[in-house]
């Protein structure tokens, strides 16, 4: 079994490309934590459209904005914003 302290020796240059990208954005410590706690796990990071509950809440909290403005702010399509908004009334 690997001693937990060993992970503290890992540097960004030691990582694969995906983990280097995460370390560049989040820092090396979160990556070390992921390696210690979730080694050999696979993660899928979805687009924001997969968080429909969030989008519904965002639409409600920004009711002063048009669907087009909301779509631009979230980086999603206006028809999708309309669809989510309609589904929240059902």
Per-residue pLDDT 10s for the chain (90 aa) are 678 889 999 999 999 999 999 999 999 999 999 999 999 999 899 999 999 999 999 999 999 999 999 999 999 999 999 999 999 765
Q: Is residue 28 a part of any domain in this protein?
A: yes
Task: Determine the number of helices (DSSP H) and then strands (DSSP E) in the chain.
Answer: 5, 0
Residue 88: per-residue pLDDT: 72
Our count of domains for the chain comes to 2
Angstrom CA distances, 74 to 41, 50, 56, 82, 88, stand at 29, 12, 12, 13, 17
Residue 90: per-residue pLDDT: 58
Residue 4: per-residue pLDDT: 80
The SS3 call for residue 50 is helix
Residue 13: per-residue pLDDT: 97
Tell me the residue range of the domain where 61 lies: 48-87
Shared domain check, 57 and 30:
no
Shared domain check, 53 and 80:
yes
Distance CA 80, CA 90 (A): 16
């Amino acid at each position: 079994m690997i001693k937990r302290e060993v992970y503290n020796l890992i540097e960004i240059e030691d990582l694969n490309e995906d983990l280097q990208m995460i370390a560049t954005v989040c820092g090396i410590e979160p990556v070390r934590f992921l390696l210690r706690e979730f080694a050999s796990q696979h993660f899928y990071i979805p687009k924001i459209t997969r968080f429909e509950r969030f989008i519904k809440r965002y639409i409600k909290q920004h009711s002063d904005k048009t669907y087009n403005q909301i779509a631009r702010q979230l980086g999603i399509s206006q028809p999708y914003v309309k669809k989510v908004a309609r589904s929240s009334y059902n």
